[in-house]
Amino acid sequence: METTRKERVRIGAFMLLCGILILIFLGYVLSTYLNREYDNYYTIFNKSVTGLYGEAHVKLNGIDVGNVTGIHIDSANLNQVIVSFRVDKGTPIKKGTRAGMTHGISLTGEKQIILSGGNFDEPDVPEGGFVPAEESAFDEIASQAGNIVGRVDTLLHNLNNIFSSENAENISKAIKNLEVATKNLSSLSQNLERKIRCH
């Protein structure tokens, strides 16, 4: 069935209207993205940042506020990693704010920067400023576990020294001497008891 000229005009007008609406929507999304303003900061980690990548999320109290913009080794200290990140302009980054990392709880093992702490009555960290890193609960547990392992190792080493072949031989001799002394004491007490009875 052929369409009439009037129907073709209607279909064309509808398609043109849809195209215009799509362009308006795309323009709005792009303008929002391009006009988005950020504040830049950095932090320094004294540990491996394996699993942390550029564009990783930055969260403040669980809310997505920005992303990582750069990761590089500190040229002055090779044990330190400088992580640059940006947050939405106006995000409250206070002097008491600390930066931490998640520990690969996702299936991919990718990490995120977690910002926490700080009070509203504290001054803001200036744009481009330094946000100190903090140890997470995971780091503290790992550190305590390391201390416990060290103590157990020392205890086992001391036990090995106590029960070394030389010490075991000395302990065996001491036990034998104690047995001999006990027998002698027993004999002496029996002799004394006989003498007392005789008198």
Kindly report the pTM of this predicted structure. 0.54
Q: Per-residue pLDDT averaged across 13-21, rounded? A: 85
Going by the DSSP 8-state scheme, the letter that residue 4 receives in this structure is P
Q: Is the pLDDT confidence value at 177 over 60?
A: yes
Nearest alpha carbon to residue 132 among 92, 75, 94: 94
What 3-state DSSP class applies to 119?
A: coil
φ, ψ at 131 (rounded to 5°): -110, 115
Residue 143 scores a pLDDT above 70: no
Q: Which residue has the tokens 């004394």?
A: 192
Better pLDDT: 105 or 180? 180
How far apart, in whole angstroms, are the C-alpha atoms of residue 71 and residue 84? 6
Tell me how crowded residue 122 is: count the other CB atoms within 10 A of its CB. Answer: 13
pLDDT in tens, 102-142: 865 555 668 899 999 888 889 999 999 999 998 655 555 55
The residue-averaged pLDDT of 151-156 equals 69
Q: What is the mean pLDDT of residues 160-168?
A: 67
Please give the Cα distance from 76 to 63 (Å, whole number): 33
- Mean pLDDT of the region 52-76: 91
Can you give the pLDDT at residue 81? 94
Contacts with 103 (C-beta within 8 Å, 6 or more apart), sequence order = 111, 136, 138
Q: What is the pLDDT of residue 51?
A: 85
